Amino acid sequence: MIYFDNSATTKPYEEVLDTYVKVNRDFYGNASSLHNFGGRAESLISKAREQISNLIGVKTSEIIFTSGGTEGNNLAIKGVALKYRGRGNHIITTSIEHPSVTEPCRQLEQMGFDVTYLPVNKEGRVSVDDIEAAITNNTILVSTIHVNNEIGSIQPVKEIGKMLTRYPKVIFHIDHVQGVGKIPIDLYGSYVDLCTFSAHKFHGLKGNGFLYKRQSILLDPQVTGGNQEQKLRSGTENTGGIVAMAKALRIELLDQQNKSDSLQKIRDFLFSELQKDPRIAIQSPQYGAPHIVNFSVVGYKGEVIVHALEEEGIIVSTTSACSSKDNAPSSTLLALGINEKIANAAVRISLSYENNIDEAKQFLKALDEVLERLNKVMGRNK
């Protein structure tokens, strides 16, 4: 099997699985317990927190463990909105956010908040000037995805953050779920206040993630009860998953140092070869993230291509995994101005450092054979 659906989820590293099993077998005590056995679990969590903070260059106290990207985005957006609603009720985001950003914003609108959804250009990038022009005296939050999960466009987060330093009352959140391990981010240097991470996007386990929260930022907790995670995220800690996540992040960032050139070459090769095919339209920007290529085979729904490739042992996807069962065209592609027919035909390739150039060549060969076969069935010529 060739697995090209890494933006949906990644295969856990063997070392990560081994760590998870060992911790749950040998250190299964509740980290909130008073006894020493629970204290050993707490110590492992503290060590993992320290490792993660060192890896991303922030203070240990600025790491809040969550269940993943969706919870992290909800905590950041709703947490800011409800904590700072006395300061204002206006939020700025973009038209191509992940549903875990868009839906919290929709909920907040029902609670009386005002949300501006800014357009993007044909390459999927928001304008820094547009963000600044949208800021009002009531603006409390700007939230943007760093790397779009469907087309791989990269937002100018450093430029946005620098601009927002002129508006000290506006908090800056980025969704870095698709960027981690692929696009470097200097959180302090980019003036980011909140940043969301999800373990299963970098070969960790599902159900784990963390939120970077600048020390000075306050949040209204969204899950209350046991007062864990600085009283911001209650619930018994997933010790094994947290420790395994720290290991996964370390390995992923090491791969980024050593394998980023090879990943980029695979993506460039796929982009170039697909671009040559007159049957195919590419939605991803040429200079987007090094692991995502979104394209459409004109005349065929994306799900048809996905299932046909699966029969050849190749796993790809259509839109975001969170939206793939909606049977609706991608809102991201529609926001780019792509017509509904092309949007319905979209297919996403998403790579990891585990992939290689031979797999890319096999994919292209299989795709050509699939299209030839489908064209014959439909009575079409190449």
Q: Would you list the domain boundaries of the chain?
A: 2-7+259-368, 14-251
Count the neighbouring beta carbons within 10 Å of the beta carbon of residue 26.
Answer: 12
pLDDT below 50 — which residues of the chain?
382
E-assigned strand segments in the chain: 2-3, 63-66, 90-94, 114-118, 139-145, 171-175, 194-198, 209-213, 280-282, 292-297, 314-315, 346-350
CATH class of 14-251: alpha beta
Q: Express each pLDDT in 360-378 by its tens digit.
A: 999 999 999 999 998 877 6
| CATH of span 2-7+259-368 | 3.90.1150.10
Residue 195 annotated in active site: no
Task: Determine the Cα–Cα distance for residues 235 and 54; give it in Å rounded to an integer.
Answer: 25
Nearest Cα residue to 315 out of 345, 348, 358, 343: 348
Would you state the pLDDT for residue 381?
Answer: 55
Q: Which of 282, 322, 334, 366 is catalytic?
A: 322
Would you state the pLDDT for residue 379?
Answer: 62
> Which ranges of 169-297 does DSSP label H, i.e. alpha helix?
239-276
Task: Determine the Cα–Cα distance for residues 316 and 154; give it in Å rounded to an integer.
Answer: 21
Rounded to a whole number of angstroms, the CA Rg of the chain reads: 21
Q: Express each pLDDT in 49-60 by its tens digit.
A: 999 999 999 999
